[in-house]
């Protein structure tokens, strides 16, 4: 008799499982066990595996964080020494910025350097100061007349000044007379005192509020 015929001829009494054929009882037990395993996996084992995976990920994250902090702690003395060196370098640079009272002398010195190199100033025009975070930038529009080698010496002498002066936007052209003209923008900088820094911060906040209102 075929399996299909056996299935059709089965008369299974749920109240008398013992009368079922052996293979049917075996199959039923296997299906029940499988269902129990699937439900047990989904209800008990899988949530635990998810928690285990999350715990392992957190462990790796904490381990990396610990190693980073341990590395920083081990190099703390080195970082502190680097910070001191940065502060010393910053102090040196800050001393190269003139104070408010020294700016006029610095402008006079730039003018004297031009004259010493045989240049004639057609324009020497300091513009409005531009306050930044802890220093102010003072642009100066320059126009000089002379020869190429005189321009070169002027630029070199300005670069050797003990105070910071930078030159930008060079343009050199011929003049209607003998020689050449050079236009450039010089920028010098001065440090702001505490009162000026506080005022600059107030002005910055006001500008931010005005910009916010316009939006």
Query: Is residue 104 located within the same domain as residue 194?
Result: yes
Query: Is residue 104 located within the same domain as residue 62?
Result: no
**129, 184 in Cβ contact below 8 A?**
no
**Could you write out the three-class secondary structure of 138-202?**
EEEEEEEEECHHHHHHHHHHHHCCCCCEEEEEEEEEECCCCCEEEEEEEEEEEECCHHHHHHHHH
DSSP one-letter string for 96-114:
TS--GGGHHHHHHHHHHHH
**122, 144 in Cβ contact below 8 A?**
yes
Query: Is residue 60 located within the same domain as residue 106?
Result: no
Query: Is residue 70 located within the same domain as residue 147?
Result: no
Sign for the pseudo-dihedral over CA of 127, 163, 122, 154: negative
Asked if residue 88 is part of any domain, the answer here is no
Higher pLDDT, 131 or 143: 143
**143, 178 in Cβ contact below 8 A?**
no
Q: What is the pTM of this model?
A: 0.50
Q: Is 119 left (phi over 0), alpha (psi -120 to 50) or beta?
A: beta
Higher pLDDT, 114 or 20: 114
- Of the three residues 41, 74, 107, the one that is the final residue of a domain is 74
Domain count, the chain: 2
Asked if residue 162 is part of any domain, the answer here is yes
Asked if residue 70 is part of any domain, the answer here is yes
Q: How many CB atoms lie within 10 A of CB 35?
A: 10
Say yes or no to pLDDT of 1 above 60: no
What number of residues does the chain have? 215
Here the contacts of 132-135 (C-beta below 8 Å, separation 24 or greater) are 132/200, 133/197, 133/200, 134/191, 134/192, 134/197, 135/97, 135/189, 135/190, 135/191, 135/192
Query: Is residue 172 located within the same domain as residue 126?
Result: yes
Query: Is residue 131 located within the same domain as residue 182?
Result: yes
The DSSP 8-state label assigned to residue 41 in this structure reads I
Asked if residue 87 is part of any domain, the answer here is no
Asked if residue 208 is part of any domain, the answer here is no
Asked if residue 116 is part of any domain, the answer here is yes
Query: Is residue 146 located within the same domain as residue 61?
Result: no
Query: Is residue 122 located within the same domain as residue 196?
Result: yes
Give the structural domain span for 178.
Answer: 98-200
Q: State residue 11's pLDDT score.
A: 60
Higher pLDDT, 163 or 177: 163
* Residue 131: CATH number of its domain: 3.30.70.60
**140, 124 in Cβ contact below 8 A?**
yes
- Of the three residues 74, 90, 119, the one that is the final residue of a domain is 74
Asked if residue 136 is part of any domain, the answer here is yes
Quick one: 141 exposed, middle or buried, by C-beta within 10 A (0-12, 13-18, 19+)?
middle
Query: Is residue 67 located within the same domain as residue 128?
Result: no
Higher pLDDT, 144 or 16: 144
Asked if residue 32 is part of any domain, the answer here is yes
Render pLDDT for 73-123 as a digit per residue (tens, 0 to 9).
Answer: 777 777 777 777 776 666 566 666 666 667 788 888 998 999 999 999 999
The Cα–Cα gap between 114 and 110 comes to 7
Query: Is residue 108 located within the same domain as residue 160?
Result: yes
**155, 169 in Cβ contact below 8 A?**
no
């Amino acid at each position: 008799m075929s399996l299909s015929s056996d299935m059709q001829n089965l008369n299974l009494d749920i109240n008398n499982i013992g009368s079922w054929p052996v293979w049917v009882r075996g199959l039923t037990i296997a299906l029940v066990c499988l269902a129990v395993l699937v439900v047990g996996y989904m209800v008990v084992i899988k949530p635990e595996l998810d928690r285990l995976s999350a715990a392992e990920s957190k462990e790796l994250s904490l381990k990396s964080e610990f190693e980073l902090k341990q590395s920083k702690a081990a190099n703390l003395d080195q970082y502190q020494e680097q910070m001191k060196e940065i502060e010393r370098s910053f102090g040196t640079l800050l001393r190269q910025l003139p104070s408010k009272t020294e700016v006029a002398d610095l402008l006079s010195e730039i003018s004297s350097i031009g004259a010493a190199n045989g240049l004639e100033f057609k324009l020497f025009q300091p513009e409005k100061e531009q306050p930044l975070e802890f220093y102010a930038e003072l642009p100066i529009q320059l126009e000089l007349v002379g020869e190429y080698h005189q321009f070169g010496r002027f630029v070199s002498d300005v670069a050797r000044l003990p105070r910071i002066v930078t030159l930008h936007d060079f343009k050199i052209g011929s003049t209607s007379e003998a020689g050449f003209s050079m236009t450039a923008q010089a920028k010098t900088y001065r440090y702001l005192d505490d009162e000026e820094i506080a005022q600059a911060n107030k002005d910055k906040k006001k500008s931010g509020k005005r910009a916010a209102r316009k939006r």
